[in-house]
Amino acid sequence: MQQSNTYIIVFSAVLTIVLGGLLSLANQGLKPMQEKSVELDTKSKILSAVTDLKGKKGQVILDLYSETIESIVVNIDGEVVEKDEKGAPIVAENVDIAKNYKKAPEDRLYPVFKFHQAGNKNKVESYIFPIYGKGLWGPIWGFIALETDLNTIKGVSFDHKTETPGLGARITTKEISDRYIGKKVFNDGGEVVSVIMRKGENNPASLLDEHHVDGLSGATLTGKGVNEMLESYFMHYEGFISKTKSNASEKVALLY
Amino acid sequence: MSTQTIEKAVEKKPAESVFSKRRKKFVNDPLSDDNPITVQVLGICSALAVTTQMKPTLTMAISVILVIVFSNLIISLMRSLIPSRVRIIVQLALVATLVTLVSEVLKAYQYDMYKELSVFVGLIITNCIVMGRLEAFAMANKPWDSVLDGLGNGLGYSWIILAVAFFREIFGSGKLFGWPLFEAMGIEHFPTNGLMVTPVGAFFILGLIIWVQRTKTGYVEH
């Protein structure tokens, strides 16, 4: 059956409006739930860099987060930034790392999440930094937690958008993140050497010193992305790290 | 009184039962004899990509079933209204809408799954099975028949990808639904096969399934 052009145009227009309306309705209706999911996901990722969240869910994680995390935002020199250009206060959790990644390193905002004992803000147990970079197919990101010496890695959690399932996507697993625990960021001279993922899997232990971890078989390029991401962000956070270190040593000096 | 009503009903052409033999065929055929993956060889892309583990595969299977069933139903309801010259784009628009809805719901309630499946949920739009059923069946058949046809094809697709995922997860990661199967059986260091984790592994398993199936059904490619 051949319909007239008018019919086709009217039909298409109505269809577009109905389907479009349906989609925007669903988008609006599901938005609060989606935002909560994203918030929970971000906070779980931050916390999972320092603690094991196994068995914890939803509100428990959000409560734990508000009890144990204090966040600040610094610039590349390690100075605390509290307000943006328009004078609005900056919230570390809302800083979009992906958007900041597009700016030049010296213009970016760098959130720092301080993990402390529940209820005791002064007793910082570790510092958590968000990181961002390029994997093989798309962006990769994560959080890396350093011990109070700001050198030893306490934990990491990686995430990705489109890495190959089963290969590069393995960076999100505990198996991989556990490999980073206890590795060192700086050498004895205080320079950033970062932690490098080796090529290939099951490397001999002699190759896996305190600056190297075992690689991902079949995902060398994702590993390379992780290496670049880690190194560049250690550089970016160096300002904050050295400032915090010297503050800490001053405090120690005052005690004596 | 009651006899009269029965007589009247008999006078009319008896309505086909909801699950008549003819309709059962819509569901049963795609499960084996006319399976969309193993016989028609459609939807291979996602069958290779998402089947490394059971969990995402199950989510994918449910999503595809929902999309096929509802798009079949809606297209079949509208089939006399759809202008034939733009029918493909109408089908595509509908499928895209349904897939986006599925993706949005996953994002709200199953965020981890949403992240894991990432692009593959969106790629249901281009899954040839969905568009193929709309064009070949829903455009020319009644709504209920179309729903059954969609269900049959969805299940036909699902059981194959679940079977592939079953073997890939067991031999590739030594797990089942993320549960360490071999450790539970007391085998500490099960040698997992890296090939199974790559899409190539899915090809092998798919090939074996097709082989077994065609030996059983005697199907020959013409």
SS (HEC) of B7-69 = HHHHHCCCCCCCCCHHHHHHHHHHHCCCCCCCCCCCCHHHHHHCCCCHHHHHHHHHHHHHHHH
Which residues of chain A does B116 touch, with a Cβ-Cβ cutoff of 8 Å?
165, 169
Average pLDDT over residues A27-55: 85
Could B116 and A165 be called an inter-chain contact, meaning their C-beta atoms sit closer than 8 Å?
Answer: yes
Segments forming the whole domain that contains residue A111 = 69-255
Contact at 8 Å (CB) between B197 and B173? yes
Q: Is residue A173 part of a domain?
A: yes
Which residues of chain B does A39 touch, with a Cβ-Cβ cutoff of 8 Å?
none
Smallest Cβ distance to B107: which of A7, A15, A34? A34
Q: Is residue A145 part of a domain?
A: yes
Smallest Cβ distance to A166: which of B52, B100, B112? B52
Mean pLDDT of chain A: 85
Q: Is residue A61 part of a domain?
A: no
Could A167 and B198 be called an inter-chain contact, meaning their C-beta atoms sit closer than 8 Å?
Answer: yes
Smallest Cβ distance to A26: which of B84, B85, B104? B104
Read off the pLDDT of residues B203-218 as tens digits, 9 standing for 90 and up: 899 889 888 888 888 7
Q: Is residue A129 part of a domain?
A: yes
The SS3 call for residue B142 is coil
Q: Is residue A74 part of a domain?
A: yes
Q: How far apart are CA B200 and CA B89, in angstroms?
A: 33
Could B90 and A2 be called an inter-chain contact, meaning their C-beta atoms sit closer than 8 Å?
Answer: no
Could A11 and B82 be called an inter-chain contact, meaning their C-beta atoms sit closer than 8 Å?
Answer: yes
More confident residue, A42 or B16: A42
Which residues of chain B does A162 touch, with a Cβ-Cβ cutoff of 8 Å?
118-119
By percentage, how much of chain A surpasses pLDDT 70?
95
Could B111 and A38 be called an inter-chain contact, meaning their C-beta atoms sit closer than 8 Å?
Answer: yes
Smallest Cβ distance to A19: which of B93, B105, B119? B93
DSSP-assigned letters across all residues of A220-242: HHHHHHHHHHHHHHHHHTHHHHH
The pLDDT of residue B1: 44
Which residues of chain B does A166 touch, with a Cβ-Cβ cutoff of 8 Å?
52-53, 172, 197-198
Q: Return the residue of A nearest to B196 by Cα.
A: A166
Contact at 8 Å (CB) between A102 and A133? no
The pLDDT of residue B43: 78
What interface predicted TM-score (ipTM) does this complex get? 0.74
More confident residue, A134 or A52: A134
Q: Is residue A203 part of a domain?
A: yes
Query: Can you say how many angstroms the Cα of residue B120 is from the centroid of all Cα atoms in its chain?
Result: 14
More confident residue, A234 or B112: A234
Q: Is residue A10 part of a domain?
A: no
Q: Is residue A59 part of a domain?
A: no
- Enter the tokens of residue B130: 């969905």
| DSSP state for residue A35 in the 8-state scheme | H
Average pLDDT over residues B13-24: 74
pLDDT band at B3 (very low <50, low <70, confident <90, very high): very low
pLDDT band at A14 (very low <50, low <70, confident <90, very high): very high
- What's the burial of B162, exposed, middle or buried (CB within 10 Å: 0-12/13-18/19+)? middle
- For chains A and B, CB pairs below 8 A equal 75
The pLDDT of residue B13: 61
Average pLDDT over residues B188-198: 75
Average pLDDT over residues B19-48: 80
Chain B residues 60-89 with a CB less than 8 Å from chain A:
81-86, 89
The pLDDT of residue A161: 79
- Enter the tokens of residue B92: 């595509």
Indicate if the pLDDT at residue B11 is higher than 60. no
Report in angstroms the alpha-carbon separations of A212 from A146, A185, B113.
16, 10, 31
Indicate if the pLDDT at residue A116 is higher than 90. no
> What is the number of structural domains in chain A?
1
Indicate if the pLDDT at residue A16 is higher than 90. yes
The pLDDT of residue A60: 83
Q: How far apart are CA A101 and CA B32, in angstroms?
A: 50
pLDDT band at A63 (very low <50, low <70, confident <90, very high): confident
The pLDDT of residue B213: 86
Read off the pLDDT of residues B84-120 as tens digits, 9 standing for 90 and up: 888 899 999 999 999 999 999 988 888 888 877 767 8
Could B84 and A37 be called an inter-chain contact, meaning their C-beta atoms sit closer than 8 Å?
Answer: no
Helices (H), A107-219: 174-178
Rounded to 5°, angle at Cα B163 from B159 and B164? 120
The pLDDT of residue A256: 58
pLDDT band at B75 (very low <50, low <70, confident <90, very high): very high
- Compute the nearest-CA separation of A167 from chain B (Å): 7
Q: How far apart are CA A124 and CA B10, in angstroms?
A: 83
Average pLDDT over residues A93-98: 82
Tell me the one-letter amino acid at B87: R
Read off the pLDDT of residues A195-224 as tens digits, 9 standing for 90 and up: 888 888 888 888 888 899 988 888 888 999
Q: Where are the domains of chain B?
A: 40-215
pLDDT band at A25 (very low <50, low <70, confident <90, very high): very high
Q: Return the residue of A nearest to B102 by Cα.
A: A26
Could A218 and B194 be called an inter-chain contact, meaning their C-beta atoms sit closer than 8 Å?
Answer: yes
